[in-house]
Amino acid sequence: MAEIVHLADRTPQVSAEDLLAGFHPSYRFGEVSFDTYIPDPSHPSQAEAVHRLRDFAASIKGRGGAGGSNNSGGGLFGFLKGGKSGKPGKNGKGTTSATGVYLDGGFGVGKTHLLASTWHAAPGPKAFGTFVEYTNLVGALSFRKTVDVLKDYTLVCIDEFELDDPGDTVLMSRLMRELADAGVKLVATSNTLPGSLGDGRFAAQDFKREIQVLAEQFDVVRVDGEDYRHRGLTAAPAPLEDGQLQAVRAERFPEAGVVSEDDFADLTANLSRVHPSRYRKLVEDVDVMVLHNVQTISEQAMALRFVVLADRLYDKDVPVIASGVPFDRLFTEEMMSGGYMKKYFRTVSRMTALVREGQMGETGL
């Protein structure tokens, strides 16, 4: 019989060591590779992205060898600017020779799969985490200690690179500049071209320079396509009647070990008390989520916290069984057209995929 737990009652504690130990691809992407990525033939940029990243990963040397020091140009700008947009770089083969690669594209085109494949293909030591996880690491270790730890890595992968406030803009710009100067290769994903990061978030001209510096550190590789999580699948299922949830869970997942069961209002109230850096710990043992009375979120701060929770659930591939409003109505119309719309669309996409898995047995990966 499944153990029923309530996330609303949990107050997980996470040490700096725990945070650092988690900088690797999640369960969902734990065994992916370039070979398991299936490019959509109607979008040639996907196959091109695989080719570019294979070459980039192959060019990375272990820190004990030639890759352990800066390139001959010296520092950050010595690495740039050979392979922009697929044009021949310094190696003359159309592959990137810059400090990093920036995978730009809509949600659900497989950017995280490609990022994780690069991490798996490169020699270590190496780090893989979300933008939020890196900022949390700096908060736990201090900026200088984070640089000291990561500067000895061959590769740092940053998933879902979005700049939500001016402080994060400066922080990540400094961090990447120092890592690049130390010879660390960088790969990042985002739904926004690096020169447009921060658009719609804040208009402070003082930070425009910082955003442009971020753009200069990467060769942009565009990945076009439709959301693979919904490619060829039926529309998301309607929410279930509230009294059906546990019966459906028992029928669909009779072998589940740990099932979380919460009222949506209680869960979101606890999310406001638990720091987002602890959400991975919050759901680490959960096999299935049962969620009662899902409601539209109207507060921006809570919406952004739920974005982080959704990413942790998706990373762990936790099926969701829910009542209330469907997840395409999780955020207000104003939110879905505002400055954070790309985050919210990603969350709707991911939660829809998890509900489809929980209630219909369909998976998007």
- Tokens of residue 69, six digits: 């020091």
pLDDT of 205 above 50: no
Length of the chain: 365
Residue 134 CA, distance from chain mean position:
11
pLDDT tens-place string over residues 138-189: 988 899 999 999 999 999 999 887 665 667 777 888 898 899 889 999 998 8
Residue type, 119: W
Torsion angles phi and psi, residue 6, rounded to 5: -120, 110
Structure confidence at residue 148 (pLDDT): 94
- Tokens of residue 108, six digits: 């659900």
Place of tokens 């990467």: 218
Terminal-to-terminal C-alpha distance of the chain = 28
Distance (Å) of CA 308 to CA 8, 146, 172, 278, 328:
16, 22, 18, 10, 17
Strands 155-159 and 258-263: unpaired
Lowest mean pLDDT among 25-39, 133-147, 158-172, 348-362: 158-172
pLDDT of 23 above 70: yes
What average pLDDT does the structure give for the chain? Answer: 81
Rounded-to-integer distance, Cα 279 and Cα 289, Å? 14
pLDDT tens-place string over residues 83-112: 333 333 333 334 445 688 888 887 678 899
Residue 270 CA, distance from chain mean position:
23
Q: Which residue has the higher pLDDT, 197 or 68?
A: 197
Listed residue (180, 118, 123) closest to 150, CA to CA: 180
pLDDT of 28 above 60: yes
Structure confidence at residue 331 (pLDDT): 95
